[in-house]
Structure 1
Amino acid sequence: MRELISMGHRIPPTNDNDTTATDPNVVAGGKRPKRPAPLPVRDGLNPSRVRVPDDAPLPLRAQDFVAALIATQRFRHPDDDERALLGRFSAGEVVGQHGEPFAPDDLLKPGVDVWFYRIPAPETPVPYDIKVIHEDDRLLVVDKPPFLATFPRGSHITESVLVRMRRETGNQELSPAHRLDRLTSGVLVLTKSQRWRGAYQELFARREVDKVYEATAPAEANITAGTVWEHRMEKERGEFKTRIVDGPINARTVVEEVTPLPSSEEQVLQRLHGVSSPLSRYTLHPLTGRTHQLRLHMYLAGAPILGDPVYPDVLPVDAEDFAVPMHLLSRRLTFVDPISGDFRSFESSR
């Protein structure tokens, strides 16, 4: 099976342990899946789907194909060995698109979808709780802490809001209606049933939700209420930083308010982050939703957000300290409910 790699036959990626790569519940620009997954969510995690490459060398056994997928994960559980692999087949947990189980020696054809469960690698627990802001029949709104991913991605699988809340509530249909960066805190809306998922995801995708953020950063005299930042931002897959490039504007942010921090709070944050300059709290209203938009706009304006490990300099991953968060907060979300037509407003208590 390693011939698929050594001969240049790339295995379609599933973002290592990222179960959302093929998760029919994941936010994807408001688009809804064509077919449901043939395996259920298990312990908060969706199954992974990988399509057999059109140029895969044949014959290709199901066991060899799945073994290669596991072996090439960047974040692999140490116990995910041959015994664990065969256990999946014995339990009927390696299946096709319609739920038909594969035996280890079944020969796969190019273009066939193979579904199975990955075993997430061990993760360092994030020492913050998720507070519930609001709950009704359709929505679960939470106050996301820093360092928790919104949904499984890369090396952050179980330490994500989605998996934690599915496990805590027992509701395996929970799904985010939108996304917050892993280091950003604040209001995050989840839908409680697949029945409502599309309507709320499309609401966010159409940018019909008004968002207000707060950032704590060095005081900068040139940033005042009413300041508007406009740029064209691009971020390539695999890059840490978003870049400013030439072209039509696609990133707009309005500064609504600038407030100096109270002396007591300022002194605490100065000690925590090792800075001596005066600090302010900036109320920001993004009119667009580019990746890292607020972080890059603040940096460009001369006031990088406290605790930002990317702007101005990318810090090593192992330098991350849970006691030193990034001070960017999704303070408030407001929208007209797509189901009831009611005005909804949710605010963080942080």
Structure 2
Amino acid sequence: MTISPSLPMRDGVGASAIQLPEGRWDSVLDFLLAQFPGIDATTWRSRLARGLVTDAQGQALAPDSPCQAGDRLHYYRELAAETPVPFEAEILHRDEQLLVVDKPHFLPVVPAGRHLQETLLVRLRRQLGIDTLAPLHRIDRGTAGLVLFSLDEASRGAYQALFARREVEKTYEALAPSLQGQAFPLLHRSRLEAGEPFFLMREAPGTPNSETRIEIAQRRGARNLYRLSPVTGRKHQLRVHMAALGAAIVNDDFYPELRPQAEDDFSHPLQLLARSLAFRDPLDGRPRRFDSRRQLLAS
């Protein structure tokens, strides 16, 4: 499944596209029920009736429309209910090329799984009316702080290349227990691989593929405010590295052990903040730096 750029946005959400695999179905509805067993026939009939499922040319399909292997369908995702995230993002900077946003905790950057309307990208598209808005990178849902978006499709690739070449200096802050007997700055390297369940990461034997520079920004008794500078950008890298050192980030529900999943506790955000981003602009060569205005817990 991919996002289709050929169809218009609906309420800030782009159309997804899927190509029918080998098989035989009597109708579009039959295929959709087989492909998405978690969505019932009543829901699909409603979406079809509202024109939310189309063929490759954007023509609305009916429940009994024929289909066959190789056909390409477009559909708009909907979620029956989403828990509202009671925090707002702040726009820090906007020019012709870039939008710099200070994201709150708990808000995902892009739609995925059970998050659709309650995501930073969809909120911004609706707020600004810019359907072509696209994030240049991502941070975890639980992490607050800076996210850069591209406003201009023509220059987007140049900014994406900065991240791909690791030419963006990223600095994070984390509140975590004090580490005794460690000399700082500390450079932690390890090999990160997919863990269990699938959404977790773990350190594993082998050649390191992740690296983080760790410094103390402020001592706070039993806890420190750490300054984290990821050299690489592996999934959950900072969280795994801090937990592996014996200083799991405050309010981390994933590391070092997965806590029972429940509704978000908005009073206990993960104490991890994407503090700053710095780079040399690929269009004019000038140095640029952006800083979050958010603060982690006082203690």
Partner of 1:41: 9
**In 2, Cα distance between the equivalents of 1:341 and 1:198?**
16
| Between structures 1 and 2, the one with greater helix share | 1
Partner of 2:262: helix, strand, or coil?
helix
Partner of 2:46: helix, strand, or coil?
helix
**In 2, Cα distance between the equivalents of 1:109 and 1:49?**
15
- After superposition, the C-alpha distances for 1:29-85 in whole angstroms (9 at most, x for unaligned) are xxxxxxx5331111111111122112x1x2431232234445424xx8xx9625413
Residues 1:69 and 1:290: Cα distance change in structure 2 (over 3 Å): same
1:106 alignment partner, one of 65, 74, 83: 65
Matched, 1:60 2:18: no
**In 2, Cα distance between the equivalents of 1:237 and 1:344?**
39
Partner of 1:229: helix, strand, or coil?
strand
**In 2, Cα distance between the equivalents of 1:237 and 1:306?**
22
Larger deviation, residues 168-177 vs 235-244: 235-244
Tell me the amino acid that sits aligned with residue 87 of structure 1: A
Kindly indicate whether the alpha-carbon contact (under 8 Å) linking 1:38 and 1:96 is maintained by their aligned counterparts in 2: no
**In 1, Cα distance between the equivalents of 2:181 and 2:42?**
55
Give the C-alpha shift of residue 108 in structure 1: 1.6
**In 1, Cα distance between the equivalents of 2:196 and 2:288?**
34
Partner of 2:163: helix, strand, or coil?
helix
Partner of 1:220: helix, strand, or coil?
coil
**In 2, Cα distance between the equivalents of 1:312 and 1:82?**
41
Matches within 5 A, 1:1-350: 14=1, 22-23=2-3, 37-54=5-22, 56=23, 58-69=24-35, 71-73=37-39, 81=43, 83-88=45-50, 91=51, 93-235=52-194, 239-261=198-220, 278-318=222-262, 320-350=264-294
**In 1, Cα distance between the equivalents of 2:277 and 2:265?**
28
Residues 1:212 and 1:309: Cα distance change in structure 2 (over 3 Å): same
Residues 1:240 and 1:159: Cα distance change in structure 2 (over 3 Å): same
Residues 1:163 and 1:224: Cα distance change in structure 2 (over 3 Å): farther
**In 2, Cα distance between the equivalents of 1:234 and 1:344?**
33
**In 1, Cα distance between the equivalents of 2:37 and 2:151?**
35
**In 2, Cα distance between the equivalents of 1:238 and 1:195?**
39
TM-score by length of 2: 0.90
Residues 1:222 and 1:298: Cα distance change in structure 2 (over 3 Å): farther
Tell me the amino acid that sits aligned with residue 229 of structure 1: H
Residues 1:214 and 1:224: Cα distance change in structure 2 (over 3 Å): farther
Q: Which runs of 5+ in 2 are unaligned?
A: 295-299
Residues 1:313 and 1:64: Cα distance change in structure 2 (over 3 Å): same
RMSD: 2.2
Residues 1:113 and 1:238: Cα distance change in structure 2 (over 3 Å): farther
Partner of 2:239: helix, strand, or coil?
helix
Residues 1:61 and 1:244: Cα distance change in structure 2 (over 3 Å): same
Larger deviation, residues 135-144 vs 101-110: 101-110
Partner of 2:297: none
- After superposition, the C-alpha distances for 1:318-349 in whole angstroms (9 at most, x for unaligned) are 15301100011111111112223221111101
Q: Which runs of 5+ in 1 are unaligned?
A: 1-13, 15-21, 24-35, 262-276
Q: Percent identity, please.
A: 40
Partner of 2:218: helix, strand, or coil?
strand
Partner of 1:269: none
Tell me the amino acid that sits aligned with residue 15 of structure 2: P
Larger deviation, residues 299-308 vs 109-118: 109-118
Kindly indicate whether the alpha-carbon contact (under 8 Å) linking 1:80 and 1:119 is maintained by their aligned counterparts in 2: no
Residues 1:258 and 1:82: Cα distance change in structure 2 (over 3 Å): closer
